[in-house]
Amino acid sequence: MATRKYGGAQVFGLVLGATLVAAGILGFFYNSTFSSDESVRDAVLGILDVNAWHNLVHIGTGALTLVFALRSEAAARSWALAFGVLYVVVAIWGFVIGSGESILSIIPINTEDSVLHLILGLSGFAAYALTAPRADRRQAASATA
C-alpha cells in the first residue's frame, strides 16, 4: 500500500485547516449567538472575541483550506497565497476599525484577533513562498545532480 506524500503547502493547509475548524467548533461553546448586536460576544480562552458568525468564518475558511490541501500541492500553494491575502486584509481592517468593534457589523474582533489574523495571513504568504511550484523543484533537482 502506497503512502501519500504531502508537500509543504499541503501540510500547511492540513494543519491550519484542521486548527481553524476546531477553533470554530470550540468557539460555539463560548458563544453561539447569531446577532448583529456588536455587544454580543464572548472571548475564547479569555482572549479572542467570537460569536456564531465568527465561528462560522473559522469553520468555513478551515474547511476550504482542507479541501485545497487535499486536492494537490499546486492547489494548496495557490490557496495559501489567497488565504494570506484574505487574512492580512482582515487583520488590517481589524486594526483600522479598532478593538471591540465588528467587521461587517456582525463579526466581533479585538486587537488579539487582528494580531492572530495578521500572523495567519503572513503564514499563508510563507507557505506560498517556501513551496516552489513542482516544475521549479524538478529543475532545481536536475541542476544539482
140 is a domain residue: no
Note whether residue 139 is domain-resident.
no
Q: Which amino acid is residue 39, in one-letter code?
A: S
What is the count of structural domains for the chain?
A: 1
The answer to whether position 88 is within a domain reads yes
Instruction: Please give the pLDDT value at position 18.
Output: 98
Q: Which grid cell is 101?
A: 468593534
Q: Is residue 72 part of a domain?
A: yes
109 falls within a domain: yes
Q: With 0.75 as the threshold, say if the pTM is over it.
A: yes
The answer to whether residue 45 is domain-embedded is yes
Tell me which residue range forms the domain holding 106.
8-132
d(CA 105, CA 81): 26
Encode the chain (145 residues) as per-residue pLDDT tens digits. Answer: 556 777 889 999 999 999 999 999 999 998 888 876 666 677 676 678 888 999 999 999 999 999 999 999 999 999 999 999 999 999 999 999 998 888 888 888 999 999 999 999 999 999 999 987 765 445 555 555 5
Asked if residue 143 belongs to a domain, the reply is: no
Distance in Å from the first CA to the final CA of the chain: 30
In a domain, 2, yes or no: no
